[in-house]
Structure 1
């Protein structure tokens, strides 16, 4: 028996289950959102090799596989001209660059710290190789020290769905398998845990819910729903009345008819699958007025690529903000939400959630986040860009302005340079593109001094150094679905590949076409003179 959105260890008085003494976690998709951090890597790799990603197959086929099995499967499915080992050697460095941006999933830090504080032994057992596991968790302070055992598939005879990883983890912790609880997100992981004779809590990634429901002892939408006391483990004591403080969740979308529709380039939600339930926090309409809000998040069905996000203002002014772009900051969790509530929360339940929200947001533990209504001031490359070589942060005095730095790409004339830019979101954004200007002088055929410009009131740079950019998505190719991330990535790509055939600076373009070697040397010299980062 299993249950969705609740917990039960299925013990009865006549057949009590063995006491749980240790917990074993999977990593990717269970504790870390590596899927989001590495999104696009595989598609980029395939494109480089003249192949097109089969999205439907990738979402269903390879989740939970060992690296060895996955590599063999990819090479076969896409008819790649490599051996599986050669494929791994080429693609792993691309993934490694992204692992540093993998965030802890909702409730992950909470449950790890809780078990450690109460002396509950924990192991990490993943189908990744051991060195890759350590690389991923090295970006999360204290994680390596909190687990008494860390195991990768290269340390046992067979990875999941074989039971070897879980059996070895239990052995190294000195705990019998029947006294271990496993927390997993994939069907292959659940199968492995059950084969080892262990109890299993599944928090499925998208597309895995049906398989997990038929095998796991308990199925949850999120680790925020996990109640350790149901397994004889110490219960959480961090609720503040009827609300749970959470690590802030930021996202944006268009609000209409009671729902927030995310606008993303690939049509997929920017929120992890495990962001599910009734939350509260703040919403900002068109970057102006701030509202206290209750937000119910889930999916209409497990196969849907889109989150269903229902939003209600505490003061009931929903009609005043309809058809506006919203920025949301969620700081508290109230409870799980059922499928019916995702479509429509009844009046009584909604009023109860509004009362909890109103009371909670007056408390310091929640209200301390309220100073960042538009974009978090701590926004950094991993929050906004998830790409090495780019950083962006909003100005303190005006949250429409962003200070941007782009590192000169390797093997380009701008390598080693630190280029400062200014990005401004106009009133019409996202219907109109952001305004972007280089503040650092640069020798490039597609970038020149601005003949007209929009200065931030914070800027102290002389107008003669403000430089405009020849980029289609900043002009006629702009779409509201595009993100700031896309704009900055495009500028980074422009530095990697100057195009003198589509110039903005005629003189530099002419130089580039008549004597490219000399033009490149000039670009390098300008980089040394003006982009040293001082």
Structure 2
């Protein structure tokens, strides 16, 4: 837990990752990755590998898996196989504890909120079509295939957050700066991108990932706070 003296009170906007933070889709990724690896006689898909892939755009994440497991296929072939397997699961995606309630709370307080995900627009729609009533609460949604994010500049680069904040400012005619934002993330790569963006990061790791997180206080370095669930996040300590 970060020292309370570093907690920011001037928060004016909140920006969210999606997979593994709001939705249980990281668990779906694990299931389908294991199914794909099994077809090549490889696996299992372990958290040390998953940690390196969380938050990366699809091609970069696929490249990690192909190289680590020495798969006899191209990155595109691996991605295509995963996509076929995932299509059977996206309709089962569901909110993680506290996620829906936090979004609704921030909306009720008129806090600008943006969804900034590495998923492309097509995959976002597949994951959220049955959850539209909540996702429509977001003021801004930026996906990994957004034209404002240059090729090769997905997470851990901050470009997706920069695009999200710029659109919020345009929509509300405001001049909110990155240090007036909270970024919510579950993966280390996403936390790195949020800190690089200049926001204070609320880090909510997957319960099964703790064994490979390392020294979380040193990693955050006063630029964020680790919470075990969005249910436990206290918005009031940030003046929200």
TM-score range, shorter chain: 0.7 to 0.9
The corresponding residue for 2:237 is: 230
Alpha-carbon spacing, 1:55–1:81, altered in 2? closer, same or farther (3 Å): same
Contact 1:23–1:180, Cα closer than 8 Å, also in 2: yes
The SS at the match of 2:130 is: coil
Question: Pick from 21, 35, 52: which aligns with 1:30?
Answer: 21
The corresponding residue for 1:101 is: 92
The corresponding residue for 1:10 is: 6
Query: Structure 2: how far apart are the matches of 1:18 and 1:222?
Result: 21
Which structure dedicates a bigger proportion of its chain to strand? Answer: 1
1:234-383 matched pairs, under 5 angstroms: none
By relative contact order (CA 8 Å, sep 6+), the higher-ranking structure is 2
Let me know the Cα RMSD of the aligned residues.
Answer: 2.1
Alignment gaps of 5+ in structure 1: 12-16, 234-534
TM-score w.r.t. length of structure 2: 0.84
Query: Structure 2: how far apart are the matches of 1:199 and 1:62?
Result: 22
Q: What is the CA-CA distance between 1:64 and the residue it aligns to?
A: 2.4
Alpha-carbon spacing, 1:229–1:9, altered in 2? closer, same or farther (3 Å): farther
Alignment gaps of 5+ in structure 2: 170-175
Whether 2:173 is the aligned partner of 1:172: answer no
Which structure dedicates a bigger proportion of its chain to helix? Answer: 2
Aligned residues: 224
Report Cα offsets for 1:205-226 as digits up to 9, x if no partner.
2236545433142111111111
Query: Structure 2: how far apart are the matches of 1:83 and 1:186?
Result: 25
The corresponding residue for 1:419 is: none
Question: Pick from 131, 142, 148: which aligns with 2:122?
Answer: 131
The SS at the match of 2:22 is: coil
Q: What is the CA-CA distance between 1:100 and the residue it aligns to?
A: 1.5
The corresponding residue for 2:46 is: 55
Question: Pick from 31, 43, 48: which aligns with 1:40?
Answer: 31
Query: Structure 1: how far apart are the matches of 2:178 and 2:40?
Result: 45
Report Cα offsets for 1:136-160 as digits up to 9, x if no partner.
1222141331111111222212111
Report Cα offsets for 1:12-69 as digits up to 9, x if no partner.
xxxxx57211100111111111133444321221222232325354344322222111
Q: Which has the larger radius of gyration?
A: 1
Question: Pick from 159, 163, 170: which aligns with 2:158?
Answer: 163
Report Cα offsets for 1:242-282 as digits up to 9, x if no partner.
xxxxxxxxxxxxxxxxxxxxxxxxxxxxxxxxxxxxxxxxx
Alpha-carbon spacing, 1:103–1:74, altered in 2? closer, same or farther (3 Å): same
Alpha-carbon spacing, 1:93–1:143, altered in 2? closer, same or farther (3 Å): farther
